[in-house]
């Protein structure tokens, strides 16, 4: 049974605004939350003026109340029936530790007098700005202002509940890694430390241990037989030989034992080729059943897919599936067949699946691959997502698409569906080349940014915007103007800032000595030159330029020369 979500309710106040409106907001929000099927907790309205949070002291009082109820709520709804005091708001919620939804009331035409005007539209900006300054995460949804009793706010509540499930569910969870990564698939490499830094604990198990646990199960084990019956009711097992079906049930029981003992929330399994070779089964259908049961299960030790699948499963409160972008669909450039051997949850399929023998294994070793849950994926809107561990971080890709009802020929084995993905060809280039944030390209194409610019973004590491270029140009113009019209001032400033490598003898020796020192420097062979020689060369070039323009260096004179800057005399 799913846990009923609970929201902590918090209301704002501001001294000069009509605080009486807060009382109505408290009633509105309670009705909205309970009508949506959620629970709430709310601080006693008698503890603060009008039952809202305004001052820092009231903020501390709410924060203390929140701490006392820690663990009893999944998120906080900060309601702004009027313009909020941002100081009280941040004091109240900066340590909430859960998602925070910012809701602001709309003003009503005909009720804009001082007794009814809310100004929450503006106040919401003030609050969110301060939360950004404090680096406190929060959620804002469309529209900017919305009444709690509106249908739109019911949508906001459903979206916020999904956000809470994802954020809270991804903070700490256990991910099982059952078996080592197969050498053939370097695409599923992952950084375990990066996962741990983000709250994902990885528990690793050797496949040999799994095999021994399976072999230790007797054929008449009551738990195994119950599991076999469950699997037969789950999907069509009519084609599976009895011995292979029994082995599948044993493996399923062993996986359940790992899940229970190590409190696994998700797992990735090395599904080939040892299971096929030694156990004569393909565990696809077991992963299918786990996903329908709410335990995220990915094949091929694809740990990163398991992370994305858990996030999507939490958001949708349904199963996710790991699929390959496998085949084009005729000539339609925005359609693709998404496929995998058979780990897709039964509830995502158009009809009851059929457990078959994996054709790829049967080709060279008949009888070795029983366990693919074959079928077709039903039409529906979908979110496509995956992640990678990169430089100690988890980088997420996400995009929207839909499965269509386009047919796939009967001879196509495994479980697949035709997906329509907007701008599919651009996404394919993005994913193939990597390093370019998904979503940016789509946004640029929506605004008719030319292909040459998008392609250049893939190749360069640093963008040089127009504003930056203008700033450089303005600085260059200023320098040129001083150099042309006030040369003595220019050289005095230059050598003050960049004069560490000045050649004193060349500087005070006049044009002839300066030229000779410059020629001597230029004669130093390339393979013998040092960085100091190169710096001295630049300095000598400027010294020669200055002397030939009629400016000269005066010798150092105690009492007149400055210790750290050059000054102009008679200039």
| Spatial CB neighbours of 305, under 8 Å, sequence gap ≥ 6 | 188, 268, 298, 322, 386
Does a cis peptide bond (omega within 30 degrees of 0) precede residue 143?
yes
pLDDT of residue 436: 45
Tell me the pTM. 0.76
Q: At what angle do helices 531-548 and 511-522 cross, to 10 degrees?
A: 150
Burial of 570 (0-12, 13-18, 19+ CB in 10 A): exposed
Q: Measured in Å, how far apart are the chain's first and last C-alpha atoms?
A: 88
d(CA 412, CA 558) in angstroms, rounded, equals: 93
| Spatial CB neighbours of 263, under 8 Å, sequence gap ≥ 6 | 174
Q: What is the pLDDT along the chain (571 residues), one digit of tens a residue?
A: 578 999 999 999 888 888 889 999 999 999 999 999 999 999 999 999 888 999 999 999 999 999 999 999 999 999 999 999 999 999 999 999 999 999 999 999 999 998 889 999 999 999 999 999 999 999 999 999 999 999 999 999 999 999 999 999 999 999 999 999 888 888 899 999 999 999 999 999 999 999 999 999 999 999 999 999 999 999 999 999 999 999 999 999 999 999 999 999 999 999 999 999 999 999 999 999 999 999 999 999 999 999 999 999 999 999 999 999 999 999 999 999 999 999 999 999 999 999 999 999 999 999 999 999 999 999 999 999 999 998 889 988 888 999 999 999 999 999 999 999 998 998 887 777 764 444 566 667 777 878 777 776 666 555 566 777 778 888 889 889 999 999 999 999 988 888 778 888 988 899 999 999 999 999 999 888 888 888 889 989 999 999 999 999 899 888 888 888 889 987 5
Whether the Cβ atoms of residue 395 and residue 388 lie closer than 8 Å to each other: yes
Whether the Cβ atoms of residue 23 and residue 46 lie closer than 8 Å to each other: no
pLDDT of residue 362: 93
Q: What stretches of 182-302 show up as alpha helix (H) in DSSP?
A: 192-197, 207-215, 222-234, 242-262, 274, 284-292
User: CA-CA distances (angstroms) from residue 450 to 154, 399, 442, 443, 455?
Assistant: 40, 22, 12, 12, 9
CA atoms within 13 Å, Cβ hemisphere of 444: 18
d(CA 367, CA 280) in angstroms, rounded, equals: 7
Rg (CA), the chain: 34
Q: At what angle do helices 86-93 and 120-133 cross, to 10 degrees?
A: 50
Burial of 33 (0-12, 13-18, 19+ CB in 10 A): buried
pLDDT of residue 336: 97
Using DSSP bridges, classify how beta strands 75-80 and 39-42 pair: parallel, antiparallel or unpaired: unpaired
């Amino acid at each position: 049974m799913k846990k009923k979500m609970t929201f902590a309710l918090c209301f704002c106040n501001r001294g000069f605004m009509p605080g009486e409106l807060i009382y109505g907001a408290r009633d509105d929000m309670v009705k909205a939350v309970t009508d949506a099927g959620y629970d709430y907790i709310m601080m006693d309205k008698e503890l603060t003026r009008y039952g809202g949070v305004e001052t820092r002291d009231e903020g501390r009082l709410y924060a203390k109340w929140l701490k006392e109820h820690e663990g009893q709520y999944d998120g906080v709804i900060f309601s702004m029936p009027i313009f909020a005091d941002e100081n009280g708001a941040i004091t109240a919620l900066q340590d909430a530790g859960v998602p925070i939804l910012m809701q602001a009331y709309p003003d009503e035409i005909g009720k804009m007098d001082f007794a009814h005007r809310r100004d929450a539209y503006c106040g919401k900006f003030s609050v969110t700005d301060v939360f950004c300054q404090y680096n406190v995460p929060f959620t804002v949804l469309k529209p900017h202002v919305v009444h709690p009793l509106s249908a739109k706010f019911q949508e906001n509540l459903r979206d916020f509940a999904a956000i809470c499930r994802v954020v809270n569910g991804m903070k700490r969870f256990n991910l099982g890694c059952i078996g080592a990564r197969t050498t053939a698939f370097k695409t599923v490499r992952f950084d375990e430390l990066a996962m741990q830094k983000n709250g994902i604990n990885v528990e690793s198990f050797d496949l040999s241990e799994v095999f021994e646990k399976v072999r230790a199960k007797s054929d008449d084990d009551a738990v195994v037989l119950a599991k076999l019956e469950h699997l037969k009711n789950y999907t069509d097992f009519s084609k599976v030989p009895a011995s292979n079906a029994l082995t599948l049930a044993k493996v399923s029981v062993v996986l359940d034992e790992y899940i229970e003992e190590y409190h696994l929330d998700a797992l990735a399994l090395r599904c080939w080729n040892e299971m096929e070779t030694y156990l004569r089964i393909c565990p696809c259908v077991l992963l299918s059943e786990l996903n329908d049961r709410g335990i995220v299960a990915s094949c091929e030790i694809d740990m990163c897919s398991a992370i994305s699948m858990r996030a999507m499963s939490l958001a949708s409160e349904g199963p996710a599936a790991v699929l390959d972008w496998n085949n084009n669909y005729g000539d339609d450039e925005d359609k693709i067949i998404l496929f995998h051997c058979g780990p897709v949850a039964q509830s995502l399929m158009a009809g009851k699946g059929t457990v078959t023998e994996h054709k790829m294994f049967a080709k060279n070793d008949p009888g070795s691959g029983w366990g693919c849950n074959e079928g077709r994926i039903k039409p529906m809107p979908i979110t496509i997502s995956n992640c990678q561990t990169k430089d100690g971080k988890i980088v997420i890709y996400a995009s929207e698409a839909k499965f269509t009802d386009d047919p796939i020929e009967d001879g196509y084995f495994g479980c697949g569906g035709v997906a329509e993905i907007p701008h599919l060809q651009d996404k394919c280039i993005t994913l193939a080349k990597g390093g370019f944030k998904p979503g940016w390209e789509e946004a640029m194409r929506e605004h008719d940014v030319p292909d040459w610019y998008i392609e250049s973004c893939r190749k360069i590491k640093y963008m040089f915007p127009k504003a930056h270029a203008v700033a450089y140009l303005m600085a260059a113009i200023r320098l040129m103007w001083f150099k042309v019209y006030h040369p003595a001032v220019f050289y005095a400033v230059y050598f003050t800032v960049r004069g560490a490598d000045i050649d004193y003898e060349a500087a005070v020796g006049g044009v002839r000595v300066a030229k000779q020192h410059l020629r001597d420097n230029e004669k130093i062979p390339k393979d013998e030159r040092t960085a100091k020689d190169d710096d001295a060369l630049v300095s000598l070039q400027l010294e020669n330029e200055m002397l030939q323009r009629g400016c000269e260096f005066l010798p150092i004179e105690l009492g007149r020369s400055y210790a750290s800057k050059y000054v102009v005399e008679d200039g």
